[in-house]
Chains A and B, each alone.
Chain A
Amino acid sequence: MKLVYEISRPGRKAMEIPAGDCPGVDPAAVIEAGLLRDELDLPELSEVDLVRHFINLSRRNFGVDLGFYPLGSCTMKYNPKVNEDIAALEGFTCLHPYAPANFSQGAMRLMYELRAYLSEICGMADFTLQPAAGAHGELTGIMTIKRHFENKGETRSKLLIPDAAHGTNPASGALCGFQIVTVPSNAEGGIDLEHLREAMTEDVAGLMLTNPNTLGLFERNIEQVADIVHGKGGLLYCDGANMNALMGIARPGDLGFDIIQLNLHKTFSTPHGCGGPGSGPLGVKVPLVEFLPVPRIIKTEKSYVWSDEYPKSIGAVRSFFGNFGVMVKAYTYIRSLGAEGLREATEDAVLNANYIKERLKPYFDLPYDRTCMHECVFSGERQVKESGVHTSDIAKRLIDYGYHPPTIYFPLIVPEAIMIEPTETESKQTLDDFCTAMIAIAAEAKENPELVKSAPLSTPVRRLDEVLAARKPDVCWLK
């Protein structure tokens, strides 16, 4: 498709600016000439051209509303429509963050209550809603840990992270000045306790653990893990990206975690918007509450007010209060589902993942054959050995069958990884159809590997040259 710049014709307009009703001003008369711009290179389109351009582009995009999207670790569940409508209410969208608090009492109550709901779900003392995404929550969490030790007058320079962790974990730790120490996984996909004991010294601030981990497996030794970390004065951080496996079943706070970030855009059904906005609230146990970001909402007898009176706070990690529009959707979701609905969501998510695991087990290697939680991780090694078909080929072929591929090549500890997270909002028919497609592709890989390697065949473009894109980067239209 043509670019907007290629459709542009001089003089076309999609939007009129109302005529001025105040005295006219010539910018050159009030601003020094050297500070004014010479040209404004924006495209010129009529409204109908604009609409057709973007709508046609939308037809070249795939979302959950079009079909099954089992992208592991991303929790691509259905995004309820009513949540979108509610977040678009003028009473929410019109609010200026600095308007006097009497304008925004409803919004502040919503945020205050959302903090309480998330605390109850996770077994934490309190939450901050300020972080704008999961990785931002992680960063805020590691800052909180850093401040905790500063406050105690302790210098701890290392942070432990399992080899199966999301890439954001080591990056978040390093951005707070910690030296990252990798802890290997054991044969059953859990954390290696012997190694952990060795690595967990008194200059280690803590362990960042995803539970269930990125293999979709619950860390069975969580009690021992917590004891080892706490025994040396460290803190146990939970990457809550996989919280969809635990809602109403178990609470990270009860499991021994001191701190957790959630991804409202995963567990709490807010849409991912092609990569954002997300929201990454951070929950902590009592001793860490005083370090959370400011400002914080407090409830007085009469109203909700903002407070900066937390002298030990790490400060602010984002302007204003976070991604409020996302919070509205998550709040609505929790109110819709209630305690039983959240538990049911988790149960069905786990049920669906185990069903897929059992159905596909005969056709793909399953490196860790255990009951899984909300996702399961296969390996495409058998296909590589048999016919030279790689996981990336299987993924591309799935597109021809009408599915978004699973997460591939992650976690890094599984070669040719295929990470499938079906979520709870998919029916048995959808799961069966997907499994049928995967089984058909496994057969194609044996019988007609070239077909699989040449996929996708049904998309507007074929496989794209990523090497060229990186070698000769073209990231801006210059014509």
Chain B
Amino acid sequence: MSYCPHTEEDRNELLRAIGAAQLEDLFTDIPDRFTLKERLNLPAALSEQEVSVLMAAVASENMVPRMTLLGAGAYNHYIPAVVRHITSRSEFYTAYTPYQAEMSQGILQIIYEYQSMIAKLTGTQVANASMYDGATAMAEAAVLAAKSLGHSRIVVARSVHPEYRRVLSTYAWANGYEVAEVGFTPSGRIDVNALATAVSDNTAACLIQSPNFFGVIEDVAALEPLVHKCGALLVAGFTEATSLGILKPAGEMGADFVVGEGQSFGNPLNFGGPYLGIFAASDKFLRKIPGRLVGMTVDKEGNRGFVLTLQTREQHIRREKATSNICSNEALCALAAAVYLVSVGKNLKTLAVRNLEKARYLKTRLLELPGWEEVFSGPTYNEFVLRCPEAKEVNEKLRKQRIVGGYEMARAYPELGEALLFCATEMLTKDGIDAVVSILK
């Protein structure tokens, strides 16, 4: 398959116009000893029909699950049909970053609407146009806090998603920052006493998640004074964005930055990406936050319009003085999230309640099984951790029925022993949950 339109005649005509005898003449700047004399060793070219057949076969080597009881940072939610119809408009998906505002008013207005909805949802005043994912959004918030305060210690709750902590530690190492972890109590919440001793006047930021990796909802308002008292910034994350339908946003409880994974808003699981890094902040950080920002303005005739703004924050202007190097973001995922949020609207609360109900039912039913018990006592949303006789065996039984089981906590929390993190979204049915319990009986 070739997507090049030129015929041999076209090529010859172009070469003549350039004054070159042959194509090779255009590559003479490359020293001859470096030019490839043989073809690259790649599989033979395929027609569209052949590549479609091939790729359908690759897709079918994967297994479409009957049911998914797994969350842990990636969530299986229903995606309204309008989302894919809008994101499939090639005026959107084949466009570049909206550098030319006059011919990009469509996406610029949508990003402005997205920023507005995210700021309101997170209880903040500013949201950027997106980061790569929840983990990098959190790491970048920590780096920004450290750079703007000149502090070099970052304190993170051990109940934050293990992958987020891993990304954080990579970013912190690269910048020469120290990371300290704070444990959790039997409630599954951050250990406030340990936090009090972990923060110092060199602490740049304290990083938590609510709901945290265990599904437990943190009391952000109770942590806030402790963090701010020592001059650090509070970064509150979330792994499950639909929880914002019922939970008080961290921005309203004193968090300086609210960051998290927005995949739940209209983006499929996709084996981990592309996802949507949500980055929101109090307006005092407006001129410091990373990534693109869209602002409302007027044209020379006074008509409302939208532009990329405050670009002096960004790497293409500040170069080595920028606090972030992000350039490409996840704009199309943000578009999906915007369409999703408009589609769901205030029903996001109903959806969140539905998640809560399914999760409670799943938890109640699983706790009927002999030897199963709850690990944490704190309030949860749509995820929870249960101790069970043999975590691997549970998942194996479910897998045989094409059901994706829970996250084996021993992978990241060996101290929790045989325990599984389960998730129930609106995609589960009562019958399905009952079937799961029968399989495990």
Contact = CB atoms under 8 A, between A and B. Distances in A.
Contacts of B318: 167, 171
B132 A318 contact: yes
Which of B48, B51, B62, B110: most chain A Cβ within 10 A?
Answer: B62
B86 to A, nearest CB: 5
Interface in B103-120: 103-107, 109-110, 112-113, 115-117, 119-120
Nearest to A38: B248
Nearest to A425: B3
Contacts of A89: 55-56, 59
A301 interface: no
Contacts of B346: 40, 42, 44
A251 B34 CA distance: 8
21 contacts: A5-B116, A12-B345, A18-B426, A27-B352, A42-B346, A57-B106, A57-B109, A88-B84, A91-B56, A91-B62, A98-B407, A143-B174, A146-B174, A171-B319, A275-B97, A323-B274, A359-B17, A427-B5, A465-B298, A469-B297, A473-B295
Interface in B35-58: 35-36, 39-48, 51-52, 54-58
B173 interface: yes
A168 B327 contact: yes
Interface string A391-417: 000011001000011000010000000
Interface stretch (B194-202, B335-343, B368-376): B335-343
Interface in A112-146: 117, 120-121, 132-136, 138-139, 142-143, 146
A357 to B, nearest CB: 8
B113 A3 contact: yes
B159 interface: no
Which of B31, B274, B341: most chain A Cβ within 10 A?
Answer: B274
A35 B345 contact: no
A96 interface: yes
A312 to B, nearest CB: 13
A466 B112 CA distance: 15
B40 A121 contact: yes
Contacts of A187: none
Interface residues of B, number: 204
A338 B430 contact: no
Given A272-B93, A320-B271, 12 more contacts: A45-B345, A66-B91, A80-B1, A106-B60, A109-B61, A274-B92, A320-B275, A342-B42, A427-B10, A460-B102, A464-B307, A476-B115
A6 B213 CA distance: 37
Which of A20, A172, A277: most chain B Cβ within 10 A?
Answer: A277
Contact of A274 (B18, B299, B335): B335
Interface in B361-409: 361, 379, 395, 399, 404-405, 407
Interface string B208-228: 000000000101010000000
A419 interface: no
A344 B328 contact: no
A44 B39 contact: no
A470 B279 CA distance: 20
B412 to A, nearest CB: 11
B193 interface: no
A462 B104 contact: no
Interface string B63-76: 11100101011101
Contact of B270 (A92, A218, A276, A475): A92
Given A60-B105, A324-B271, A336-B46, A470 B295 contact: yes
Which of B23, B92, B174: most chain A Cβ within 10 A?
Answer: B174
Interface in A1-30: 1, 3-5, 12-18, 20-25, 27, 30
A55 B344 CA distance: 18
